[in-house]
Amino acid sequence: MNDVMIDLEESPTTWPRVEIGSICEVSGGFAAPKGEEPFANGTIPFVRMQDLGRYHRTTNLVETKDKLNHDFVAKRRLRTVPRGSILLPRSGSVSLNHRAILGTDACIVSHICALTPKRSDVDNQYLYWALCNFDMRRIMRKTTGLDAITFEDVKLVRIPLPPLNVQRSVCAVLQKIETVLRKRDQANQLTNKVIQSVFLKMFGDPVTNPKGWDTRLLGEVSHKIVDGTHRTPRYVDHGIPFLTIKNIIKGEFDLRNVKHITQGEHQELIKRCRPEKGDILYSKDGTLGVAKVIDIDLEFSIFVTLALIKLDRSIVNSLFLEKALNSVSLRAKALEFAKGMALRHLHLEDIKKILVPVPPMDLQAKFVSTIEKLQMLGLRQRESTQEINQLFYSVMQKAFRGELVS
């Protein structure tokens, strides 16, 4: 779904403005339990931030990586959030503006906030769409070093609330286009799966390495691996793009909401970390272990959440390595290095230790030639996705302006 938000204040003045606290129960979760015992034979979904981030936006969150067992939940008297509640980040990842409707009863981690409608005149789908258009960064605070929102501030958020029949009409229209977007996304994913299939056929699994290719540490096939600035820069309305993990969505650049910094600050940052075409960006926070070749002609700087890999291209092809790093097995292997519990991250030194296959350069070149045709198809699909996104934004504007319902 397009993350560009509309202005809810443009909704008809006849639609009452209500505070979230007056229409929803606002609650949180608990710290993630340690050890294997709480999860043994688990059947109760336990939503972590990574589960919320995997979807980013969804009206039916049902799949979670972990499940808790009934004995643990009962013994600790843990609260189960009911199906239909809206979930959003409460700390650490507030700025990512994830949103989800729970498709099943579940327990949630403490970094997530749940909104459960408590009035019969509130449609939870409408509430979800309205909240997709409220940027939680507006009420974000710094708490123990993390970006966070408080329950009390969430309760004070105001949204327009038309009559129930109007809410449902708005949702029906938006759901139709969202379905088209989801199908297009599935087609995009299928193209990516075909590319991965070609990779596996030519090179085999990069971890088990059945074809016996030479293997090297990522640091050994790179001239330099460095992360972006650890300091939050001063943003400006116009200037040099400043990329974070939010600007790489599903393995592609997404610059719709990119922030900007001054030319002077950019010049200081690139003394240490200068992204150039053909280099690889690698996510070390958030959605970990995602590689993306810089294939756009754009001057930019990056934040600490991204690592920059400057390859020795006489040894390994950038596009080949991107696909290797993004393979299921090699990404899982890299995640074994991840540190932290709720907010996991990769250290540069561990990224350098990732073991990668190094087939002959002529075979790597043959692979690149093969998949470039598939990538052209992917490019056309992405262009189509952008057109659907623009349509979605236009329709959502009209829906919340009351122009699509009588």
Cα 30 to Cα 39: distance, rounded to the nearest angstrom: 15
Question: In this structure, are 339 and 391 located in the same domain?
Answer: no
- Comparison of pLDDT for 177 and 142, the residue scoring more: 177
pLDDT at 153 (0 to 100): 95
pLDDT at 351 (0 to 100): 96
The answer on pLDDT for 261 being more than 60 is yes
Question: In this structure, are 306 and 227 located in the same domain?
Answer: yes
pLDDT at 3 (0 to 100): 63
* Total domains, the chain: 3
- Residue 35 domain flag: yes
pLDDT at 406 (0 to 100): 55
Question: In this structure, are 264 and 313 located in the same domain?
Answer: yes
Question: In this structure, are 250 and 334 located in the same domain?
Answer: yes
Question: In this structure, are 19 and 156 located in the same domain?
Answer: yes
pLDDT at 226 (0 to 100): 97
List the CATH number of the domain containing 77. Answer: 3.90.220.20
Reported in sequence order, the residue ranges of 34-108 that DSSP labels E, i.e. its strands, are 44-47, 57-61, 66-68, 86-89, 99-102, 107-108
Nearest to 218 by CA among 67, 83, 334: 334
The answer on pLDDT for 378 being more than 70 is no
pLDDT at 390 (0 to 100): 78
pLDDT, the chain, mean: 90
- For range 45-65, the mean pLDDT: 92
Question: In this structure, are 141 and 256 located in the same domain?
Answer: no
Range of the domain at 113: 15-161
Q: Could you say which of 338, 358, 378 is where a domain stops?
A: 358
Which residue matches tokens 């609260």?
Answer: 79
Question: In this structure, are 94 and 184 located in the same domain?
Answer: no
Question: In this structure, are 147 and 20 located in the same domain?
Answer: yes
- Residue 5 domain flag: no
- Residue 294 domain flag: yes
pLDDT at 347 (0 to 100): 94
- Residue 7 domain flag: no
Q: Are 292 and 319 in contact (CB under 8 A)?
A: no
- Residue 208 domain flag: no
Question: In this structure, are 176 and 229 located in the same domain?
Answer: no
The answer on pLDDT for 230 being more than 90 is yes
Q: Are 339 and 347 in contact (CB under 8 A)?
A: yes
- Residue 8 domain flag: no
Question: In this structure, are 152 and 237 located in the same domain?
Answer: no
The answer on pLDDT for 244 being more than 50 is yes
Q: How far is CA 151 from the centre of its chain?
A: 23
Question: In this structure, are 180 and 135 located in the same domain?
Answer: no
pTM over 0.75: no
- Residue 204 domain flag: no
Question: In this structure, are 194 and 232 located in the same domain?
Answer: no
Nearest to 53 by CA among 227, 243, 189, 248: 248
Mark 317-334 as b/e (b = at least 16 C-beta within 10 Å): bbbbbbbbbbbeebbebb
- Residue 188 domain flag: yes
Reported confidence tier of residue 1, pLDDT bands at 50, 70, 90: very low
